[in-house]
Amino acid sequence: MLVDAEIFLRVSFFICGALIGSFLNVCIVRLPRSQSIVFPASHCPKCKKPIAWFDNIPIISYLLLRAKCRACRTHIPFRYFFVEHFTAIIFMWTYVLLGLSWSIIPALILLSGLIVASWVDIEWRIIPDEISVGGIAVGLLVSALIPGLHKGPATEVLLTGSTVSLILAGSCMGLHLIKILRRKLPFEREDKEIFAVGLTLLALQWTALVAARMIPGLAVYLSALADAFQGVIVGACSLWVTGLLGEVIITKRIVTEFDFKGIVDDPLALLADLQAHSYIDALGNLQPAFREVKVVGNLKLGHAFEPKRKDIFEMLYAVDEGGVMGWGDVKLLAMAGAFLGWQLACVAFFVAPFFGAVAGLVKMLRKQDTAIAYGPFLAMGIVVSLFWGDKVIRWVLQMYSIS
């Protein structure tokens, strides 16, 4: 009987995952296009015909339809089948590892967000704020209501976390100011908002920490909330400080042929085109004309380079910033910190580069291009931290004989 119940639960989580995977497919398609994930109902992007319920059964419909739209016979991308099947396996696997407990709810929410963020980042080189910023809000709320993933952090852990978050936040703010002063940039509204958000998060984590000491009956929930706030700060600032160090120390300012290898077939011709539009000078220095280009759609290019407009804009923007870390990655690790706390956010930060380094090396050898979408590898680090982060922390502490 126990075996039958276990099989039933595993199959139930698999089916639930497949259903959620179908919704994640909608998010993957619509979020980067700024479309509603609710309206209109599922339809074929080619012929616009609504998809009947019997053609919208996860996994099964794809196989029965042989990957073609029933109305116009347009090929259905394999991604739909893969995401549904992969999400189903992830849900079942999470149940096997975590068991039937309340903590499985925030874990599945986090994993679902990582699936969407990873796929969108691979295809679009962006991570939608609906996933990262929305995920931060959900993570904070779920941490306060279902603190299972935080495992009741001790006072010493929270005090250490508050110190780490203060040091990282202070370092980021200091380096950001150095960048502004060094480049003689104006202190704009966005800079003020960044500082305001940072100070607010620091204040909130201290408030939750003090409240946990003063209200013993809610200590478990408030401690988890304090850990979640610390996770947001440490997760975001650990990646942000990495990018800021690159901007302040490296300060790469010249566009070169090497920057566009693997992006376009003729980098020299592209440099000539950029120079003709006054975006760079003869030495490759970025000119004010480029800084007036606020969005990718305003970038003027020759017809031959139009298909790579987005990649070219992102590379020019990266050179202008001098850094290597995108805001989407920063916010994604902040989201993970909201669910997992500051310690596991640190684990994810240190684990993710191992996955990214291997992929970057392979890509460099095959295409002579080192630019990668870091989101999927960051997600891998977060998954490792979610399921095995505690073991990693214990191993590190034992290695250094720290109790």
Q: Quote the CA–CA distance of 36 and 17 in Å, as a whole number.
A: 22
pLDDT beyond 90 at 115: yes
Residue 328: the pLDDT is: 85
In this predicted structure, what is the pLDDT of residue 228? 97
Is the pLDDT at 138 greater than 70? The verdict is yes
Alpha-carbon span 113 to 97, nearest angstrom: 19
Predicted confidence at residue 373, as pLDDT, reads: 73
Query: Mapping DSSP to helix (H, G, I), strand (E, B) and coil, where does residue 285 land?
Result: strand
Question: Rg for the chain (alpha carbons), in Å?
Answer: 23
Task: In whole angstroms, give the CA distance from residue 364 to residue 357.
Answer: 10
- Say how far apart CA 359 and CA 126 lie, in whole Å: 18
- Phi, psi angles (nearest 5°) of residue 40: -75, 175
Per residue in 60-97, pLDDT (tens digit) is: 999 998 889 888 888 889 999 999 999 999 999 999 99
pLDDT of residue 206: 95
pLDDT digits (tens, 9 = 90+) for 16-54: 999 999 999 999 999 988 888 888 888 887 888 888 888
DSSP string, 213-229: HH-GGGHHHHHHHHHHH
pLDDT band per the 50, 70, 90 thresholds, residue 368: very low
> What rounded mean pLDDT belongs to the chain?
86
Note whether 22 and 56 are within 8 A (CB): yes
- Which has the higher per-residue pLDDT, 130 or 176? 130
pLDDT for the residue numbered 326? 67
Give the pLDDT score at 263.
Answer: 76
Q: Are 240 and 172 within 8 A, CB to CB?
A: yes
Helices (H), 185-266: 189-214, 219-245
Residue 68 φ/ψ, nearest 5 degrees = -135, 145
pTM: 0.82
| 261 in Cβ contact with 368 (< 8 Å) | yes
pLDDT, position 201: 96
One DSSP character per residue, 350-382 reads: HHHHHHHHHHHHHHHHHHS------HHHHHHHH
Which two structure tokens, joined as six digits, stand for 112? 């679902």
Bridge partners of 264, per DSSP, are 261
So where are the chain's domains?
2-100, 130-251+323-399, 257-321
The predicted pLDDT at position 170 comes to: 94
Q: How confident is the model at residue 343 (pLDDT cuts 50, 70, 90)?
A: very high
Using the 8-state DSSP alphabet, how is residue 287 labeled? -
CA–CA dist 124, 311 (Å, integer): 9
